[in-house]
A and B are shown apart, each in its own frame.
Chain A
Amino acid sequence: MARGTIWRVLSEAYVSIKSVVKYKETLFWVILFPILWYGLMVAIWGSPNPPSVELGVYNGDSSGDDWLGSILMKAINASGLFKVKVYSDPQELYNDVKKGHLDVGLWVPENFSESLAAGAKPVVKVFYVKSEWGGFSFQVVDGFLSAFEDMIRSNMTEYAFKFAPAASAGWLELMADPLDVVVESETPPLLATPGGIRAYYAVSMVGIEALFIGLFSGAMAINERKRTGTLQVILSSPMRDWELLASDTLAALALVGLSAAAVVSVSLATGAKYAVDASVIAFSALILAFGTLFTIGLGLLIAPLAKTPEGASALVNAIAFPVMFAGGIAIPVFILPEPLQVFANYWPLSRAIISVRRLLLNEFTVNEALAYSAPAAVAAVIIYVIGLFVYKKLLARIIEYH
């Protein structure tokens, strides 16, 4: 490649990088915006634990630390599963569940401990609203009560040993605790940790930047220059059309790279954990570059639809805003409705971002990531090449008629 060509191709990257420092609006959109949004995403979805269940409790059992009602209350508070609100009026508790102010209501009756001591089965009432979240909350409370019930059963069995014949003790014990459950725990996957979730959303923000920067770069390449008069000067310079496009592509990649560096730095400073080595970084960058190439190509395709930079900008926003959600770029794909999940799985940038996320979160090996992103890379190259033809045609029209 001729020496002059190299420098001409670098020209737009030069001004773009300078502009990040000199133009506040560029600094905001390329660096600050993704960082702010990363913070917002982490604040909303940054915890790996499910949100706690709001539990209202009416404890009517007679006071005293060793009464069962008090023991139950202590266990509820100690579990960390619930945000507890204590009620003195069971009707008020019931009404609050009905109004949706509480997820679940638990009514411990007046004669709770006494009933047990007298050999009668006490009644505990649970209220919940039969919605998806209400059902989930009920399951949590139900599980907790089962564990509490096991504890009572175990205590009562121990008490019964004192009076039972020795031969039946084993049977009593088996009845009280018929199963021995052996539990083994594994280290949670990276994504299930707070650090992994932060890394997940940092990659999402890089994806959003790749989406917007690529689309803007492609859609505005000619329109904006025509408006400012730069195109006229470029056309009378030795820069060829493909050199200009290569220069814009490089500039867009440089901006996405800068943005990624900023977001990843902030994410690391706030505790994000990545599974990285040199090859993972290199292949992540490569896959991201193909994702950006796709959005640049798409921008080039829509460029002829707009006559002004404002029109191009409106088109870009009309595409990018829905796609960043519907394509599973800003948010996880699994929370999308099924038809959108299909879309996200086939949208090349989404596929690239999913590959990078999984690669950086240790869910994919390099080979798996490359295999998963290969169709996206092929699609990106095809769209970019078609975009190149559209771009050349648009440029030829401007050279013909200004």
Chain B
Amino acid sequence: MEESPLVEARGLRKVYPGGVVAVDGVDLEAWEGVTVLMGPNGSGKTTTLSMIAGSLKPTKGYVKVCGYDVWSGDWSKPRECMGFAPQNMPFREKLSVLENLVWYGLIRGLSIGEARREAKKLLEAVGLPDKGKAKVAELSGGMRRRLTIAAALMGDPRVLILDEPTSGLDPRGRSEFWRLVRDLSRDRAVIASTHIPEEAEEVGDRVYIFYKGRIAAWGSPEELIKRYAPKARIVIQGRGLSNPPNVRGATLVRSGDDTAIYSTMDPGEVLPRIVEALVKVGAFIERVEVRKPGLAEVYMTVTGSGAPSEG
């Protein structure tokens, strides 16, 4: 385990012409494992990743990757240490998969021979061993995502930066993608952005919640949930629920004619009491659901707004 973070950003601020502040005062660290930047579109995730990846200069603040400052000092050193995949990884459609990967290897300073060997190894690793000669244009969306990972991993970087890597993929595709990233990223720091809380919760060892260009909260998903949304939600659906009773150990969050929502720290103990109380007041219960709190609830708590995926 490293003693210092592989990525360290301090006081990052980005102001565009016209005074538009895209990112303001972002402090961030990434260690081995997966760090997720979560937030709605326009919250500053991509701008932050671009500043970390070295393609967008911060107005203020600094970024260090593998201990090297990205924006002052040797240009190449920190960049040798990272692989970056923007939202739409650029490939030359009519060149073959292998030729594209060789180009990614060359710009990272590998020789043609080394790049070819590494490309073949990575194609094997991402499950595209027989696609080396295929044109990129012939690949499916899922295959293209896997090729993106292979391209970003050319040169064996310690830090892998992925901007919205699963956008456009279905839940199964997302799940397979992250399994692949996990497999290929042992001993690496992966920084990825997403606007899907469930995804951040599932893959993130550390999650930074972005809101209006700032970090609203950060920590492991468990810590965040424990700190900001510790209570489970009990959702009751049926009829005659417009005036639900108060129940000890639970807080009524919302109610309507056909739905009542309680929040509680201990759903196992409180649920029978809620059901009993509702039956007593003549409500007809059709469905009971206990919702475990997640990062969507954390996001709503820390930002006071709707879920980020709705942003």
Contact = CB atoms under 8 A, between A and B. Distances in A.
Interface stretch (B36-44, B106-114, B118-126, B205-213): B106-114
Interface in A232-247: 232-240
Interface in B37-71: 50, 53-57
A402 interface: yes
Contacts of B75: 238, 240
Contacts of A228: 90
B32 interface: no
B90 A229 contact: yes
Contact of A402 (B50, B80, B99, B108): B50
Given A22-B94, A240-B76, A7 B109 contact: yes
B84 A233 contact: yes
Interface string B193-222: 000000000000000000000000000000
A7 B135 CA distance: 23
A15 B75 CA distance: 24
Given A3-B111, A10-B106, A400-B57, A232 B84 contact: yes
A400 B103 CA distance: 26
Interface in A212-249: 228-240
B57 A234 contact: no
A59 B16 CA distance: 88
A240 B80 CA distance: 11
B102 A237 contact: no
Contact of B79 (A2, A7, A19, A238): A238
A239 B16 contact: no
Contacts of B77: 238
Nearest to A22: B94
Contacts of A236: 53-55, 79, 82, 84, 161
Contacts of B33: none
Which secondary structure dominates where chain A touches chain B? Answer: helix
B86 interface: yes
Interface in B9-25: 16-17
B106 A399 contact: no
B106 A8 contact: yes
A23 B94 contact: yes
B89 interface: yes
Given A15-B92, A238-B79, A233 B109 contact: no
A154 interface: no
Contacts of B107: 8, 11, 233-234, 237-239
A159 interface: no
Contacts of B265: none
A interface, size bucket: 20 to 34
Contact of B109 (A8, A235, A402): A8
A112 B86 CA distance: 92
Interface residues of B, number: 36
B198 to A, nearest CB: 28
Contacts of A11: 103, 106-107
Contacts of A5: 109
Contacts of B16: 401
A19 B94 CA distance: 8
A5 B107 CA distance: 9
B189 to A, nearest CB: 15
B106 A14 contact: yes
Residue from A8, A14, A237, A240 having most chain B Cβ neighbours under 10 A: A237
A18 interface: yes
B57 A237 contact: no
Interface in A139-172: none
B95 interface: yes
Interface in A365-402: 399-402
Given A236-B53, A236-B55, A236-B161, A18 B109 contact: no
Given A15-B99, A19-B95, A229-B90, A7 B54 contact: no
A402 B58 CA distance: 11
Contact of B90 (A230, A239, A400): A230
Contacts of A401: 16-17
Given A11-B103, A19-B92, A240-B76, A232 B109 contact: no
A401 B88 CA distance: 19
A4 B95 contact: no
A236 B83 CA distance: 7
10 contacts: A4-B80, A14-B103, A15-B95, A15-B99, A19-B92, A22-B92, A236-B53, A238-B79, A240-B75, A400-B56
Q: Which 10 A-B pairs have the closest CB atoms?
A: A4-B109, A11-B106, A238-B76, A236-B84, A235-B55, A236-B53, A229-B90, A238-B79, A237-B107, A22-B94
Given A3-B109, A8-B109, A236-B84, 4 more contacts: A2-B109, A7-B112, A238-B77, A402-B50
Interface of B: 16-17, 50, 53-57, 75-77, 79-80, 82, 84, 86, 88-90, 92, 94-95, 99, 102-104, 106-112, 115, 135, 161
